[in-house]
Amino acid sequence: MNDHEKDRIAAALHQLRPDWPTKSLRTLLDKPQIADRPRRDVVVALGWVACETATATPARVLEAGPWWRAAAVESASRPLEHLEPQDRCKTCAKSRADCARNPWGDHEFEPGIFRARETDISPVIAELKGHLEPTREVLHTKGEAC
């Protein structure tokens, strides 16, 4: 990231978390662990950390956490390559080799079944509606207000 991008990110995060001074955010963005990452990844990770109620300081982003996995998501619409369950990590859904190259080191490869999200959830909704029971009976007659 260049200095202009770091300034803009620090200003944006200060708007999100006014208790984090812009100068402190800018100092954090100069750290090599952050400065050497793509701008998009830094914004996603810091945005996640800023929205966590348990986060007191933006330095939490330097820890391994789900925010770096969120930053690594390229596209939800990109189909997964075909891999056998034993060759796909059940945490990140990447191949054994791609998981091993994980730059954040937030998990070890664990083979298993990764299930991509359903794109059509209407059958699930219909099934759930079938399980609903009214909590009270409402009677309406013509002309009455609800």
Residue 10 or residue 75, greater confidence: 10
Q: Are 106 and 64 in contact (CB under 8 A)?
A: yes
Domain extents for the chain?
3-73, 77-130
pLDDT at position 113 is: 65
Which position has the higher pLDDT, 143 or 89? 89
Please say whether the beta carbons of 30 and 6 come within 8 A. yes
> Per-residue pLDDT tens for 1-55?
788 899 999 999 999 999 999 999 999 999 988 888 888 889 999 999 999 888 8
Angle at 94 between CA 89 and CA 100, to 5 degrees: 80
